[in-house]
Structure 1
């Protein structure tokens, strides 16, 4: 049985970010590291977007940047100037290639394509079992999501950010490649929170995603019918579908960190690193992975890593509202973006605002919904 200092079970976004920052810190060169994943990360299986004010570690993977985005609903449209931020698009395969190339050049890191079956912790070691063998280590970073932790409880609501996307190429110029559509709530809501998301990369090419924040998934046909309807609404007649993607991101404030032990930490979606109120994963994982690597340089007890903040409470109130009244999502986001300060809203979603700045953002939202949600939540605790 081979022994390592650290084992990563799963090699998705959060694991690759954390390992890359461990490499760049140059403080873990004497540590042996193993990444285990049944997926070789050789396909373009997803698209990530995030905003930032500066160049980041992920610059080689960014395929498109926008300085402006569009917000719309059935009643209004607003162009949101993002300065000093830019909205960035990364395709999954570009990200995997960038980080796996970095990892492949490290003599102290192994990547093994095997499915993880179990993690067993004792006083002295942690054992990781795969379909073919077992590995031992001092500490484990687990990013394999266990949905039963959330579905088997009722204290914290669970919604899904689920979507279908088509990369299309049109015969005639139709898109504005200098502006992404952040949220378009003009589509029929049908008792849910539903919007279109458009990422144009040229006048004839774009990713169109039909997205919901709701409890239940749709049939594949319903997602695609709505994308077809939106394409017709844009006046597009002739186009071809280049690629498709489907996704489902859990949105919950469930305290995953309570399952961390001294030597096993849950990261990524499995650790609650997804921004609960929006489903944004990339930026949150970027911030959390930086914090985790810094933590590792001075501490070893993973139970001490997580810190609950005011933003956890803000997210919880929004999820409580959408759990009870899912159809109110369009009104909440529309109130926020109708005349709100766009850069301040992005700063708020990045969890970087002061309490005074929080109030400037929150005050734009429907107050009655949030007051009632707060009162209900106080009684649940």
Structure 2
């Protein structure tokens, strides 16, 4: 069977890695970029085999997660599914090591995809080739004015020990700049070194110095004299819509709606989806692209995004209620998209009722 994978981000690279376990498959990967912008990808490592490649190259993991707003601090302990991060380049290289020598990596941009009853056709400027299956992982087009998670982070080295390397702060809402829904994300890998990231949810991004000033202001709690080691930035459209599927051309990754729209997480969902797709290919069954999370979880994400748009201060209060409503195991299951009904109802019951009901009903 001839298979093409378009794009070699987390989804395309992991699918190629899983499919390489079967020698009978002839795999071609279309990826024009020799290197991609490096990012940290986060996931909760619950021991799933889908995370094996990520586990081998993870940079750090944390057993405790903190959420801070004003004088309020909530902590969730997740030792059974520690929060882990990998460098995107390290992960893709880890997947590449699993590829068979016969796998082709074609450094060409795909212009179009089409299919007929016999084959799917991949067209670039240099070639036109037929395949039995094509998996398209290119980012989809998003509606205008989609809410975005936009961020800039700096790796810093402090002159004295100030961080707790056992605890990652996922959201610190204490800085209150002019951006209504803004928080600081802190990933310490030692007592003196951490990634400090300024993150906003809004339709438009800020100029880069705006985020840098937020990070500098945050670090003033521990004084001057820190060293900036590295910087990363990006934006994630917070939209879980998916592109159409064909018989031979299948959308995967963000294109198939793997993003958890209220949080911006997709890495774990991409890997789990890739593993399940590979299992279907190996079993020669009709392909059904797996959903990344349950319909009710997607609906809950949509309600939270509506609240962030309409009432950002109340959305912050709702976000702070999440770690109070769930224990560590329930929290990680909900974040990775396979929570139990009991967990979902516990979360709904623990959230502030009036603003969530208003957002659910679409009231302004």
TM-score (norm 2): 0.91
Q: Return the alpha-carbon distance in structure 2 between the equivalents of residues 327 and 160 of structure 1.
A: 17
2:359 is the counterpart of 1:367: no
Shift of 1:201: 1.1
- Which residue, out of 213, 223, 233, partners 1:246? 233
Alignment of 1:56-71 (within 5 A): 56-57=51-52, 58-71=54-67
- Which residue, out of 72, 75, 79, partners 1:79? 75
Q: Return the alpha-carbon distance in structure 2 between the equivalents of residues 374 and 182 of structure 1.
A: 25
The residue that corresponds to 2:121 in the other structure is 127
- Which residue, out of 274, 287, 290, partners 2:275? 290
Q: Return the alpha-carbon distance in structure 2 between the equivalents of residues 65 and 40 of structure 1.
A: 29
Q: CA RMSD in A?
A: 2.2
- Which residue, out of 320, 324, 340, partners 2:306? 320
Distance 1:191 1:212, change over 3 A: closer
SS for the counterpart of 2:338 is coil
The residue that corresponds to 2:44 in the other structure is 51
The C-alpha deviation readout for 1:336-355, integer Å capped at 9, x for no partner, is 22464233222222222221
Question: What runs of 5+ residues in structure 1 fail to find an aligned partner?
Answer: none
The residue that corresponds to 1:206 in the other structure is 194
Q: Return the alpha-carbon distance in structure 2 between the equivalents of residues 145 and 325 of structure 1.
A: 29
More moved, 306-315 vs 365-374: 306-315
8 A Cα contact 1:6 1:137, kept in partner: yes
- Which residue, out of 341, 354, 358, partners 2:340? 354
Q: Return the alpha-carbon distance in structure 1 between the equivalents of residues 270 and 177 of structure 2.
A: 30
- Which residue, out of 249, 254, 276, partners 1:269? 254
Q: Return the alpha-carbon distance in structure 1 between the equivalents of residues 299 and 39 of structure 2.
A: 29
2:101 is the counterpart of 1:115: no
8 A Cα contact 2:179 2:200, kept in partner: no
8 A Cα contact 1:114 1:130, kept in partner: yes
Distance 1:266 1:206, change over 3 A: same
Shift of 1:375: 2.6
SS for the counterpart of 1:64 is strand
Alignment of 1:185-224 (within 5 A): 185-188=173-176, 190=178, 192-224=180-212
Shift of 1:46: 0.5
Distance 1:273 1:339, change over 3 A: closer
8 A Cα contact 1:143 1:270, kept in partner: yes
SS for the counterpart of 1:336 is helix
SS for the counterpart of 2:74 is strand
Distance 1:293 1:309, change over 3 A: farther
2:91 is the counterpart of 1:95: yes
Question: What runs of 5+ residues in structure 2 fail to find an aligned partner?
Answer: none
Shift of 1:306: 4.6
Q: Return the alpha-carbon distance in structure 1 between the equivalents of residues 246 and 112 of structure 2.
A: 15
8 A Cα contact 2:238 2:261, kept in partner: yes
Distance 1:15 1:351, change over 3 A: same
8 A Cα contact 2:8 2:29, kept in partner: yes
